[in-house]
Amino acid sequence: MSGDEDSRGNPGTRDGGIPEKEDESSWTLDRLPWPEVGRVLARDPRLLLPVGALIQHGPHLPLGTNTFIARAVVREVSRRTGILVAPCFHYGVSLAGGERFAGSAGLRRKTLHRALNELLAGWEDHGVREFFFVTAHRHEPHLDALLMALTTSATTMVVNLHAIPVDDVLEGSPLLEHGGEMDTSLMLHLAPDRVRMDQASDVEPEEATEKRYGRGKVATPPAGSRGTLGYPSRASAGKGRTLLLRYVETVLEILRASEKQHRAPGG
């Protein structure tokens, strides 16, 4: 075994962390033939579903920032556990005011809800017993659509990555940013070639913003901000790596807790 691969033949990592390149060996449905999918589900009837969003994150980050983050977390969780992963659902609930930013697009809450219901019904028929939605988009209508997803007997759980405590990693509050220190750090780690720091600018959050935008109730950043809220100047790839590992470890803890619950007598 070479120094760049682990015992499962997966790409190597630095310091036991997340692979720096996309892991082609994760258990993603669109890369597997159906007999193998059936065998994996017979062993572990869980399915991870990353749900992204196509929304602006300032002039320095790609529209798919939320998708990059959710997909990276889920792929690493799958790599460590062997749990199947569904292809990422790229469109979240659209944000009010998003039309001001070219390319931003999304769905209505009821549209996302219906689409997820139809997908889950098919996978449930194939043996999935637990669904785990993982998203990095905290807009309330978006989360509501995930939380209301319906199944016949399978259980569902929503993991909102932005709800994971990371204040100790950042200089500012993660609740008061969009395209700021947190998002920019994660993208500097995940896809530095897609970050345009020469276009980044800091926008100081105000108290009114905390009550409206920061808590996911209003999605439009302050006028004149060009879509940014917070301090991208504070971002670093090192912080992004720490944040991503925190997300992965938290999702793993959630999966372990769920597994114990279902294995417990009467669970």
Calpha distance 235→4 (Å, rounded): 28
Interior angle at CA 222, CA 237 and CA 188, nearest 5: 10
Q: Which residue has the tokens 């999304």?
A: 106
29-262 adopts what CATH topology? Rossmann fold (3.40.50)
pLDDT in tens, 157-186: 999 999 999 999 999 888 888 899 999 999
Mean pLDDT (whole number) for 231-244: 97
For residue 246, pLDDT beyond 70: yes
pLDDT in tens, 120-147: 999 999 999 999 999 999 889 999 999 9
For residue 7, pLDDT beyond 50: no
Mean pLDDT (whole number) for 241-266: 86
* Cβ pair 247, 73 in contact under 8 A: yes
For residue 74, pLDDT beyond 70: yes
Query: What's the pLDDT score for residue 99?
Result: 58
C-alpha count within 13 angstroms, C-beta hemisphere, residue 41: 22
Q: How far apart, in Å, are the Cα atoms of 96 and each of 40, 66, 176, 222?
A: 41, 17, 18, 13
pLDDT in tens, 93-107: 976 655 578 999 999
User: Residue ranges of the alpha helices (H) in 154-222?
Assistant: 181-190, 207-212
Q: Which residues are registered as beta bridge partners of 203?
A: 230
pLDDT in tens, 194-237: 999 999 999 887 766 555 554 455 545 666 678 888 999 999 99
Query: What's the pLDDT score for residue 101?
Result: 85
The pairs formed by 215-222 with CB atoms below 8 angstroms and a separation of 24 or more are 215/175, 216/138, 216/139, 216/140, 216/143, 217/140, 218/96, 219/55, 219/95, 219/96, 219/97, 219/98, 219/139, 220/95, 220/96, 220/97, 220/98, 220/100, 221/178
- Helix, strand or coil for residue 106? coil
pLDDT in tens, 15-67: 445 554 555 556 899 999 999 999 999 999 999 999 999 999 999 999 999 99
Question: By percentage, how much of the chain surpasses pLDDT 90?
Answer: 67
Using the 8-state DSSP alphabet, how is residue 168 labeled?
A: T
